[in-house]
Structure 1
Amino acid sequence: MAVDATTTGEHLPYHRLSAAGLRTLAAGEGDGAVIAELLRAERSRRLLLLRALRNGASRDDTGPDGTDAFAQGWDLLERAQRNAPEVCEDLLMSPNTGMWVSLAVRRIRGRVYEDAPHWVVMGHLAALAAAAAVRAGLEFDITVPVRRGLVPLPTLGCAVLPDPEPWGTARVTGRDGRVRVTSASGVVVLPADPDRREPDWIPVRRTTLGSGGRAKPLVLEELDPYRTFPRPSEPSLLSPAEAAYWESSLAKAWEVLLRDEPESTEAMRRGLMSVAPTPMRERFRPHSSTAGDAFGGVTASRPDDVAQLAATLVHEFQHTKLGGLMHLEPLTEPPADPETPEPLLYAPWRDDPRPLGGLLQGIYAFFGVTRFWRAHRHTADPAYVPLAHFEFALWRAQVWATLNTVSGHERLTSVGRYVVERLTERCAGWLTEEIPTTPLRLAEEAAADHHARWRAHHLRPPAKAVEEAVLAWQQGADKPPSALTAEPLLVPDSGVRFSDSTAVLARHHLSDPDGAWRRPGGVDGADPAEVRLLHGEHAEARAAFTDRLSAKGAPASAWPGLGRALAADPVHRAAADLLRRHPERARAVQDALEAKTGRRADPVRLAAWLGA
C-alpha cells in the first residue's frame, strides 16, 4: 500500500497506511513506527472534526452571559498555535480532546451524550484554549464553562470554585505571569507551579514508567470530564493510598510488559497517554475500556494484581491500534439494508450477542491477551503459573473459535479478510503448544460452559417445533420431532449476567483453592452447585441442578450446569450432550410444558428424551 500522504485527482491529501504497517497490524502486532503512522492520521482526523465543529457552530453556542466561548476559544488557540505550536499539538492529541471533539460534532448533528447545556459542551474549546495560553505564557482573558463548581483546564488541572450551580461561566486571565480564575462566587489564583496541589487547585496527576532515556510518561487521569467513554463524568479523585497503589502497580506492570511484550511496550511508549482509574470490582472481573475517538486513553478498574493490569493494558491497546486502523481502512462493509437490524453473533468474552464489527474488535483485543499470557506463563512467579496457563488456554480456544466463525464472512472488506487470515495463521501456530492437564481441562470446561449458557439465554427453537415436542412428550413418543433440530432463532436476552462464572471459579480454584469464594455467594452469579462441580462432586451437583430446574423460575444457566453434572455418568451421556450443546431446546420445551400444564417435567428425563 502507499505511504501515508497520497494525493487524489483533486489534489486533496489523505492518509493511507504503509504496506509494512498494515502487515504488522494485521498480525496483531505494531511497534512505535506504525503507531506514529496512526497518530499522524488521527491528528488529521481531529483537525477535520474541529473544522466541522466550527462550521456547525450556531447561536446556541452563546452562554447565559451572552458570551460565545467557542469563538473566543478558537481565536485564542490560533494565538497559542503561533507562539507555542508544541503545546497545541499536545492538547490536540490528548485522548480527552479526541473524545470531546467527537461528542461535540455528534451533538451538533443531534446525538446528545451528556446532560450539560449545548454552550457548555461547545465552550470546552475555550477551556482548551485557556490551558494552551497558560502553558504558552501568553497574556489573555477568556470566558470558560464552569461544571458544578469546577473549571477544568485540560492537561493542567482543575480550579475549584465555591459555586453550587451545576453550570456557569468564569473568566480565566493571564497577566504578569499569574493566572486567575474568577467567577461570581470567588477567585482562584493558580500556583506558580501548576503541579502543586492547593485547596482550590487540583493538578493533573502524572507518573513515569521505567527510567532513563526510554522512560514512559503517563497521565493518571482523575479530572477531565472527557476521560471516560462513551459519556463524560465528574472528577473522581484518588486518595493518597489509591494513587500510590496505582503508581506502583503501573510501574510493575510496565516491567512485566518490557520483559514479556517488548514490541507492544514499544508501541505503548508512543501511543499510550493516559489511564483513568475506576473503582475496584469483584476479583477476576475487572472492567476496562477504550474509545476509537480517544486514541491513547484507557479507563480501568483497580487491578487485582500486576499481571492482570499488564494484560488489561495489552487488551485495551489492541483496541486502540485496531481503532486507528479502522479510521483508515474499514474492516467491514455496511449492511446492505441500513433499515434492517444487523445480524448478531456469539462473542465468547461477552454476555450479549455482538455485531460483526464489535466481534472483530473483541478478536483483536483477546488475540493480544492470548499472546501476553502465552509469554507470561513462562516468566510468572511459580504460584501464578497455573493461572497463567489457564488464561492462555482459555483465550487461545476462544479466539481460535471466533476467528473460524468470521472467516470468509461476506461483509468483510479485503483488509478485513487480510486481518482475519493473518490472525488465524498466528493463532494456529499456538494450538500445538502444551499446557498442563488441570489448567487445560478447566479452560475447556469454561469455554464450553460459556457457549452453552449463551445458547440457553439467547437462542429459541422454532415455536411450532416446540409445540410439536410438547405434544410428543405428552403422548409418550420415543423421541422428539426432528423439527426441533432446525436452526434456532436469535432472541437477545438483555438481562444476562455472569456468563463467565465457570471461568471465574476456575481462576479462584487455581490461585486460592481454600478461599472464601467456596462459600455461597462467594462469586457473584455462581450457583453453589457449580462449586461442587469444580471439586468433582457430580452427584451432589446433579441433585442441586435438578431441584433448580424442577421449580418455577429456574435460571437458564442451570441447564448447562446439569449437563456438566451428568457428563461423568455414561448412562446419561445423551442428556449431557444435549444440555451442553443445545440447552435452548430443553429450556424451551420445559417452559412450554409449564405454560400448558402448570407442571414442569423431570429435567433429567426431559434432557435424555430430547437427546435421543
Structure 2
Amino acid sequence: MSAERPLPHHRLPPDTLAELVRGEGGPATLDLLLGGERSRRLLLLRMLDDAGGLGPAWDLLSEAQQRAPRVVDDLLMYPQTGMWLTTALRRLRGKATTQEPPLWVELGHMRALAAAAALRAELDFTIEVPVRHGRVPLPTLGCAVLPVTEPWAKATVRAEGGHTVVETAGIEVAVPSASGSAGPGWFPVRRLTVGPKERQLDIALDDVDPYRTYPEPTEPRPLSGEAVAQWRRMLEQAWELLLREQPETAQAMRRGMFSLTPTPAGERFRPRSVSAGDAFGGVEASDPDDAVQLAVTLVHEFQHTKLGGLLHLAPLLTRGSDENQELWYAPWRNDPRPLEGLLQGIYAFAGIARFWREHRKATAARSAMAHFEFALWRTHVATATEQIRHHPRLTPLGSTLLDTLRDRCTQWLAEPVPEEYLALARLCADDNVARWRAHHRRPPAPAVETAVHAWLDGASGPPGSLASEPEIVPDPSARWLDSLAILVRHRLSGADDGRISFDGPEKAAARVSGALTADALLAAGDATAARHAYREHLATEPGPAGAWAGLGRALAMGGDEPGAARLLCHHPERARAVHRALLRVTGTAPDPVGLATWLGAPPV
C-alpha cells in the first residue's frame, strides 16, 4: 500500500479557507479536503495494521492497488470504510460503546474490503471473510445471503477466471459479473446517477454495508425494487432543484457526496438524517416527504461533511476539559449540546437558511413555506451564534468562521419577509427556546423552597434569590420541542394557492407527536382558546413542561396578564419549578396564571 511512502502535508490556502468559513466551498475546495481525508484514511489503515495485523487482507489489497490503484482509492474513500476504520480502532483501544460484533468479525471486515478491491481489479484470489447473521457484505458491491444459523461465522470468497462465489458449508452464492445486478442470494449496491450529462450526481444507494449507519453499525436491510425506484425519482427531482437554485453547492456535492443510506420514513416534517466526520461523503436519511425536503437534507449533511473535512485539517476550538462540560441551547435539538456540537449545528443550519433564502426567490408564486422556513432558520442560527461568539475556546479560525456566519446571518435578518410568515417564525422561535428552558433550566433548589414559603405566607412577590442564573440540568423527558413549528408547517403546506388551512385543534394536534390541543390553537392564532386549554393541561399532574411556554405565548398574543406573560416567555422554568413544589407540599396545583403573575412581580 502507498501508506509506505511519505504522506503529503495538507494546507488550505486563504481563498479556500474563506470559502469554507462562509459555509461555502466549490469543487476545488472539495478536492483539497478529499486529499487530506485520503491521507488520514491511509494513516488509520496503517495504525490498524500495526495494532492488529491485517495479514492476508493487506497483501491482497496491495496486489489490487498495483493492478487498479483507482479502485483501491475508491474503496478507501468510501464513507463506510472511514466509519469501519475508526470503529475498529476504538475496539482495539477499548473505547467502543458496544461489544458486537465480536472483535474478530470487526477486524475481519478488512478481508471483505480486500475481496471487493480484488474483484473490482479482476484478480483471481481466495480469502476467508466474516459472515454476519448469515450475510457477507462486500463493500461497494453488495451482500451475499447464506443459510447460516450462527450469528457470527466464516465464509470463503473465491474468484477465478471471471467467476466469483461466496461459499460456506458447501453452499455457494454467485456474485454477478455485472455491477449492480441482483442474483439468487445476492443483493447489489445500486448506484443512482441523476441529472444531465456534465452535471450528474453519481451516488451509491447503500442498504447493505454494515457501516452505512452512524454512529453504530447495523446489519444489511436490502430495499425492495419499488423502494429503490422511489428513491431514484425523489433524488432526480431534488437534484434538478439543487442544480437550478444552488448550482455551486451541487457542483461541490458531485465531488464530495458518495453514498446515501435510506432509513424508514418518520413523521411528516420531521425527517431524520445523520452524517459523521469519520464517514466523509456519507449520508443516512429517512424517506423524504418530497423532493424539497430531500434537497434540504442533502444540503444539511453536506455542510457537516465540509466542516468535518475542515476539522481534520484545522481546529476551530482548543481542547476543553471533560469535567464540567458546558452545555448550550441548540434550537434544532431537544437536548442541551456541548460547544463542539453547537458549532457543528450552526454551520449546518446556516446552510439550510441559505437554501430557503434561495428557494423562496425561485418560488415567488408559491412561497408561503419558504418565507416561513427562511425566517425561522435565520433566527435560530442567529440565536445560537450569539451564545458563543466570544467563547475563549475558539481558535482564531473558529472566531473568523463564527463571525463570518454571524455577519451573514445579520444581513439575512434585514431581508424583508411578509409579516404573516415573519410573525409565525418569531412565534415558533420564541416558543422553542422557552420550551427548552422549561425542560433544561433548573432554578436553585433553596430559592424554590423559599418561594414556596413566600407564596404560602402571602408575600407580595417572590424572593430575589429565584432570579439567580439557573443551571442547565439535561431533562431526558424533553422531546418534540419543535411541535409548534410542525403544526405551523402543516398549516402552511396547503397555502400554495394563497389559503392557509385550519383543521380542528384536536385533529391537528393528533397528527403531530408531542403536540397539545392548546399548541394547535396557538398555531392557528386563537390566543384566548389556547390560554384556556393550556390552563387545563397544567391542572394535571405533573403537567407538560412545554405548556408553560405555550401559556406565556398565548398570554402575550392576547395582551392579557402582561406580568405573567413576560415571566413565562422568558423564565418558564421558575413557574414550573415552584408549581411542582407547591403541588408536592399542598397536594393542590395553584392557578398557573396567578402563580406566574406573582412570580413576575418585583422580588421581596
Deviation, structure 1 residue 37? 0.4
Deviation, structure 1 residue 194? 3.6
Please provide the CA RMSD for this pair.
1.5
Q: How many pairs were matched up? A: 588
Judged with a 3 Å threshold, the aligned counterparts in structure 2 of structure 1 residues 516 and 297 are, in CA distance, closer, same or farther, namely: farther
Equivalent residue number for residue 509 of structure 1: 491
Equivalent residue number for residue 377 of structure 2: 395
Deviation, structure 1 residue 518? 5.4
8 Å CA contact 1:394, 1:443 repeated in 2: yes
Q: Which amino acid aligns with 1:353?
A: P
Deviation, structure 1 residue 411? 0.8
Query: Residue 521 of structure 2: which of 507, 513, 532 is its match?
Result: 532
Distance 1:100 1:496 in 2: 32
8 Å CA contact 2:434, 2:571 repeated in 1: yes
Distance 1:499 1:438 in 2: 22
User: Is 1:480 the equivalent of 2:475?
Assistant: no
8 Å CA contact 1:157, 1:194 repeated in 2: no
8 Å CA contact 2:548, 2:568 repeated in 1: yes
Distance 1:472 1:492 in 2: 28
Equivalent residue number for residue 310 of structure 2: 325
Equivalent residue number for residue 443 of structure 2: 461
Deviation, structure 1 residue 516? 8.1
Equivalent residue number for residue 353 of structure 2: 370
Deviations 1:284-330 (A, max 9, x none): 00000100000000000000111111011000000000010011111
Alignment of 1:15-94 (within 5 A): 15-57=10-52, 70-94=54-78
8 Å CA contact 1:220, 1:276 repeated in 2: yes
Equivalent residue number for residue 156 of structure 1: 141
Equivalent residue number for residue 80 of structure 2: 96
TM-score normalised by the chain length of structure 1: 0.94
Deviates more, 1:539-548 or 1:89-98: 539-548
Equivalent residue number for residue 8 of structure 1: none
Distance 1:397 1:472 in 2: 38
Deviates more, 1:238-247 or 1:248-257: 238-247
Alignment of 1:358-437 (within 5 A): 358-380=341-363, 382-383=365-366, 385-437=367-419
Alignment of 1:152-301 (within 5 A): 152-184=137-169, 186-301=171-286
Aligned partner of residue 143 in structure 1, secondary structure? strand
Q: Which amino acid aligns with 1:22?
A: L
Judged with a 3 Å threshold, the aligned counterparts in structure 2 of structure 1 residues 33 and 435 are, in CA distance, closer, same or farther, namely: same
Distance 1:510 1:149 in 2: 47
Judged with a 3 Å threshold, the aligned counterparts in structure 2 of structure 1 residues 375 and 518 are, in CA distance, closer, same or farther, namely: farther
Aligned partner of residue 253 in structure 2, secondary structure? helix
Deviation, structure 1 residue 514? 4.4
Query: Residue 522 of structure 1: which of 505, 511, 518 is its match?
Result: 511
Distance 1:159 1:39 in 2: 31
8 Å CA contact 2:505, 2:517 repeated in 1: no
Equivalent residue number for residue 4 of structure 1: none
Query: Residue 343 of structure 1: which of 326, 346, 369 is its match?
Result: 326
Distance 1:228 1:517 in 2: 37
8 Å CA contact 1:114, 1:232 repeated in 2: no
Distance 2:260 2:7 in 1: 36
Deviates more, 1:366-375 or 1:553-562: 553-562
8 Å CA contact 1:161, 1:185 repeated in 2: no
Q: Which amino acid aligns with 2:341?
A: G
Alignment of 1:100-115 (within 5 A): 100-112=84-96, 113=98, 115=100
Q: What is the percent sequence identity of the aligned residues?
A: 53
Aligned partner of residue 262 in structure 2, secondary structure? strand
Deviation, structure 1 residue 192? 2.7
Moved over 4 A (4+): 514-518
Deviation, structure 1 residue 436? 1.0
Deviation, structure 1 residue 534? 2.1
8 Å CA contact 2:174, 2:184 repeated in 1: no
Q: Which amino acid aligns with 1:429?
A: Q
Deviation, structure 1 residue 229? 0.2
Distance 2:238 2:74 in 1: 25
Aligned partner of residue 601 in structure 1, secondary structure? coil
Deviations 1:372-417 (A, max 9, x none): 000001213744x101111100000010111111111011111111
Ranges in structure 2 where 5+ consecutive residues have no aligned partner:
1-5, 495-500
Query: Residue 434 of structure 2: which of 435, 443, 452 is its match?
Result: 452
Aligned partner of residue 413 in structure 2, secondary structure? coil
Deviates more, 1:206-215 or 1:454-463: 206-215
Deviation, structure 1 residue 538? 2.2
TM-score normalised by the chain length of structure 2: 0.95
Query: Residue 299 of structure 2: which of 310, 314, 329 is its match?
Result: 314
